[in-house]
Structures are given as structure tokens and as C-alpha cells.
Amino acid sequence: MTAADPCAHCEEMMQPYMDRVLTDAERAEAETHLDECTYCRKRYRFEDHLRTFVQQAVYAEPMPVELRQKLADLRTPLQ
């Protein structure tokens, strides 16, 4: 395992990427990796959908505890 694992680096940048707080260079770097890595692309897409879903849920009914737990389980890293 090297420190230069591109997927690990990509994962680190996922939250800031979603929050749109990356610099242009970092963003370009992440997008380049996403273009060529199916694994990370899936993770980003999943995270993106999850965020949208959670945002919608905030404005809808209060989320049942079981659903909240299910979402928390889904967020654990895929191995």
C-alpha cells in the first residue's frame, strides 16, 4: 500500500468536492480520476444521490429512526 493510492486520495476529496470547496486544480484532479475509475465514480454518484435524498427528506416528513439508521449503514465505506 503506497501513499499515492489514487482511490484513497479521491475518497479524501469526495466530501470537499461535494461541498464545492476544492480549488480548480483539485477539482480537475478529482474529475480526471473519476473519468477513468469506475469504482470512485460509483461512490461519488452514490454520495451525490444520498445528499439529494437527505436534503429532500429534511423538507419532508421527519425521518423514521429505522431509515436514519439504514442511511447511516449505507454510508460505511464499501470494501
Minimum distance of Zn ion from residue 23's CB (angstroms)? 20
Give the torsion sign (CA, 40, 79, 74, 9): negative
Minimum distance of Zn ion from residue 3's CB (angstroms)? 15
For every residue of 25-73, DSSP letters joined together read HHHHHHHHHHHH-HHHHHHHHHHHHHHHHHHHHHHSSPPPHHHHHHHHH
Minimum distance of Zn ion from residue 45's CB (angstroms)? 13
Residues engaged in binding Zn ion (CB under 5 A): 7, 10, 37, 40
